[in-house]
Amino acid sequence: MSRIGPILKKYNLQPISFEQLGKVTKVVTNKGIFALKSISSKINPSFPTYLQQLFQQGFSRAVPIFPTIEGKYLVFYNQKFHYLMPWLKSDPPEHRGDYYHTFIKEVARIHLTTVRKQPINEKEITAHYEEVIKRWEERSQFLENFVDKAEQKWYMSPFELQFCTYFYETSLASSFARRQMDKWYELIVEKKDYRTALTLNNLSHTHFLFDENGRGYLSNFEKAGFGNPTNDLVSIYYHNLKTYPTLCTDCLEWFETYHGRFPLREEEFHLFLSYLSFPEPIYRCVRNYIEHKEKRTEREHVQRLQRAYWLTKNIEFVAVKLLEAEEKRKEETEEESHTE
């Protein structure tokens, strides 16, 4: 109690009992049950203002942050920031089969509520494109050099052997991402503006919480900021596809749900596919193996590489299917325009 007592005093609350659940503390007080979250002092302390702006714009499906008796939304104590929220459940109601669709709808609604158009600065766009392409080419060359060195050995390590079997498919993923980025650049330089929206970044379905009536609310705005709306989509798919090999047909339906409420522009769609598809997780595994080999066993390095490969292949299925659906949609639209 001595650890959270001084914090709760700022809200004029008296703790009765508490339960530590990761970064969140479930606190029973004299005025009800609350969630007290502790976060790094390095986080942007102005993030609660994004929540207030959302509420002012009529968006109500976000978990509110309670102010202290002094009107502050964050309490700095023991070298960390802390904030107080209502206690909500993280498990979806059993009867809610459309859980993910509801989650996606609310993400789309935040983007729709906060979308802004920004004028195109061709020099900045070109600089961004060239920076990304250069970074990806360096990563691809890094992986190719790793394979070349491994293949020159009499005996490869298990990690090296494993990566060599993945290298061709990794190269294909890189090429696919590059083509999508090229398409984005080709389209965006012809536009007069681009769109930004409030994005939560590092977004996961675990941040979707439920009240006693089964209504869902988005939480965790600590990394929120204005950026390309596709940032949140990439985050969602990364979190959900980080699993065993799967052909996630539900993922295709989630995109349709999002697109139905906040349609992506053509260039945004290709930007989304490019960032989603580049095999960054595999690159990081190889880099980590080279630079921090001694921190894990060979088996652990191999397991991490295998999971990164599974993620890349799961993403490949989704990205290819989404692209096929988009091309079919364009063909149908063109045929309709010719018949009119």
Task: Determine the 3-state secondary structure of 40 from DSSP.
Answer: strand
The confidence band for 157, taking pLDDT boundaries of 50, 70 and 90, is: very high
The confidence band for 335, taking pLDDT boundaries of 50, 70 and 90, is: confident
* Residue 152 burial (10 A CB sphere; 0-12, 13-18, 19+): exposed
The confidence band for 97, taking pLDDT boundaries of 50, 70 and 90, is: low
Percentage of the residues of the chain whose pLDDT score is greater than 70: 96
Between these two residues, 115 and 41, which has the higher pLDDT value? Answer: 115
Q: Is 231 a residue whose pLDDT tops 60?
A: yes
Residue-level pLDDT at 340: 59
Q: Assess contact for 316 and 174: CB atoms under 8 A.
A: no
Least confident of 1-5, 170-174, 180-184: 1-5
| Number of residues that this document lists for the chain | 340
What is the mean pLDDT of the segment spanning 239-250? Answer: 95
The confidence band for 337, taking pLDDT boundaries of 50, 70 and 90, is: low
Percentage of the residues of the chain whose pLDDT score is greater than 90: 85
Residue-level pLDDT at 22: 85
What is the mean pLDDT of the segment spanning 192-203? Answer: 94
Count of C-beta atoms within a 10 Å radius of residue 214: 14
Cα–Cα distance for residue pair 139/174, rounded to 1 Å: 9
What is the mean pLDDT of the segment spanning 157-175? Answer: 97
Cα–Cα distance for residue pair 196/114, rounded to 1 Å: 8
The label of the residue with tokens 């149908």 reads 332
What is the mean pLDDT of the segment spanning 113-123? Answer: 96
Q: Assess contact for 268 and 230: CB atoms under 8 A.
A: yes
Q: What is the pLDDT of residues 56-77, one digit of tens each?
A: 999 999 999 999 999 999 999 9
Residue 201 phi/psi, 5-degree rounding, is 60, 145
Q: What is the pLDDT of residues 40-50, one digit of tens each?
A: 988 888 899 99
Q: Is 275 a residue whose pLDDT tops 70?
A: yes
What is the mean pLDDT of the segment spanning 204-230? Answer: 91
Count of C-beta atoms within a 10 Å radius of residue 247: 12
Residue-level pLDDT at 334: 77
Q: Which long-range contacts (CB under 8 A, 24 or more apart) does 49-56 make?
A: 50/198, 50/221, 50/224, 50/225, 51/221, 53/114, 53/198, 54/110, 54/113, 54/114, 54/198
What is the mean pLDDT of the segment spanning 15-24? Answer: 90
Residue-level pLDDT at 214: 85
